[in-house]
Amino acid sequence: MGILSWILLGLVAGALAKFIMPGNDPGGIIVTIVIGIVGAVIGGFIGTQLGFGDVSGFNLHSLLVAILGAVILLVGFRLIRRA
């Protein structure tokens, strides 16, 4: 995947993760993209370790893995921020 695909996937995954977990999180669209990209990496790592696959292209499976990773990242961020 090229960098433009990662940014686009990150934007979509980050926006959907924030839609799934609404709340008062700081940042605008740039933070949403970063959450989505890092979430895709986290989701790809966890998916690979559990045998579900990884983020290999711009398809539905990769999007779901990226969204799962972004949601996990948001949960972790909120737990750290609360403590």
Which tokens sit at 22? 């609404």
Residue 26 confidence (pLDDT) above 80: no
pLDDT in tens, 49-83: 887 766 666 778 778 888 888 888 888 878 887 76
Total domains in the fold of the chain: 1
Cβ pair 70, 34 in contact under 8 A: no
Average per-residue pLDDT in the chain?
77
What span, in angstroms and rounded, lies between the C-alpha atoms of 65 and 83?
Answer: 27
Helix orientation angle between 29-50 and 60-82, rounded to the nearest 10 degrees? 110
What span, in angstroms and rounded, lies between the C-alpha atoms of 67 and 83?
Answer: 24
Domain extent for 23: 3-82
Q: What is the CA radius of gyration of the chain?
A: 12
